Amino acid sequence: MTDRARVTAIVLAGGRASRFGGSKLSLQLDGRSLLDRAIAAVATLADDIVLAGPVPDGLVGQPGASVRNVIDAEPFAGPLVALAGALREARGSLALVVGGDMPSLVPAVLAAMLDRLDADLELDAVILAPPAAATDEPQRRQVLPLALRVESGASVSARAVVEGDRSLHRMLDRLRFVELAPADWLGLDPGALTLLDIDRPADLERIRGLDFQ
């Protein structure tokens, strides 16, 4: 660990995976499950790791990583409810939030996000601005991965849940956040692998053909 503030990694793992057609986090990619890969990426950056949601069958776990499991208060209520519950259990002052279905996270990019957040006390959160798209269609804001200040994140997410708002995208609008520009992180991850997640079977097949470890 560096001398940055204490970090809790939150791995969101409680979705129904309806677009995939069933459980996906235990699926193997080059000998490791999708969830194990996500845990491995955050393990060197976090003082503790919280798995938000039920532990899937087949989870091996990252050697040397201490993973605490926080079950969603309301099963399948969405990632914001899961995040709010995990933030209540966070031991760090900063949180690194990723999806359990993000198997190609680049730790150096995640570290850059945490460093940007840690360096500016006026910020609540840092996300990644995606590279320019090949089409003219507007790009949706990329919410995960997310570097988040725990105190403000816990307060805002809890309030949103009470108000019946379950959107991670709208939660960001309640926070002071910045997008890390592509010029500031693509050099660490030229293929933008950190942004990839597995929503559909075709996504898994596509990622199998990519060059990553």
Give me the mean pLDDT over the 79-83 stretch. Answer: 92
Determine contact, residues 142/189, Cβ cutoff 8 Å.
Answer: no
Q: What is the pLDDT of residue 21?
A: 44
The pTM of the full predicted model, rounded to 2 decimals, is 0.88
Closest by alpha carbon to 6, among 86, 65, 67, 92? 92
The structure tokens listed for 80 are 């914001």
The CA-atom distances, in angstroms, between 165 and each of 46, 79, 145, 157, 159 are: 29, 11, 20, 9, 9
Looking at CATH, the fold of the domain delimited by 7-208 is given as Spore Coat Polysaccharide Biosynthesis Protein SpsA; Chain A (3.90.550)
* pLDDT tens digits, one per residue of 115-146: 999 999 999 999 999 998 754 556 778 999 99
**Mean pLDDT over each residue of the chain, to the nearest integer:** 85
Asked if 97 and 177 count as a contact pair (C-beta separation under 8 A), the reply is: no
Domain range annotation of the chain: 7-208
Positive/negative CA dihedral, 27, 28, 34, 36: positive
pLDDT at 63: 44
Helical (H) or strand (E) element with 148: strand 146-149
User: CA–CA separation, 111 vs 19, rounded Å?
Assistant: 30
Given a cut of 90, whether residue 22 has pLDDT beyond it is no
The pLDDT, as a whole number, for residue 211 is: 59
Helices (H) and strands (E) in the chain, counts: 7, 9
Least confident piece of the model among 17-21, 47-51, 181-185: 17-21
